[in-house]
Copies of this chain bind each other. A is one copy, B any other.
């Protein structure tokens, strides 16, 4: 999955830096509370809906989804997390998980115990705000997808997902030259886009026919970035990838 050689933990710091670079002391303090990395196999549920985890999980490698199972047995993926993302930082403060967290590929994760996080925040308020910031970016993405799912047709939704994933993966060194590994089956893409697996397939074929992407198995190559963005009406501000420093 790796493209550049980036130490997994740096993917996280790169994210955190957007809010305001933590100094060496803050960085070390944060790193000190992380548990040793462990692997989770594709398909495993790492956190169950209604659980009350005592630690938050940081994704180091792989792809995970926040999954809600619906009454009819179908499921909705409300968010995808790429390496460097905290998967359930919101569990630090919310009473119960409102969704499950499922490994969509083989993954590598570490965790930050909530007790340690809390004392870290008491000691380094700015670091606390940086973590808060990360959850706000998640919320911004949620809001954006609300408009994508609610208002865009299937083709635009799919194109939008590809644009977003490419940008996010590129940001952590896991995509380059338009190529990346999509850790999702077409059925799972449907669970993200709120489409049936059948219709996802038709859309994929349309994107191929228009010469926008090559999409074979789980390998995606974007052939026409501008065209794909235009079709998706992709405007990446909502991902909050620009640096901003605390004023």
Contact = CB atoms under 8 A, between A and B. Distances in A.
Contact of A136 (B90, B143, B242): B90
A107 interface: no
Interface stretch (A1-9, A70-78, A176-184): A70-78
Contact of A95 (B71, B90, B242): B242
A139 B135 contact: yes
A143 B19 CA distance: 24
Contact of A98 (B76, B95, B143): B143
Contact of A147 (B70, B133, B151): B70
A140 B97 CA distance: 9
Contact of A146 (B78, B140, B233): B78
Contacts of A146: 76, 78, 142, 145-146, 149
Contact of A140 (B90, B132, B244): B90
A211 interface: no
A76 B150 contact: yes
A122 interface: yes
A138 interface: yes
B128 A94 contact: no
A129 B121 contact: yes
B74 A151 contact: yes
6 contacts: A76-B151, A78-B143, A95-B240, A121-B128, A125-B125, A132-B132
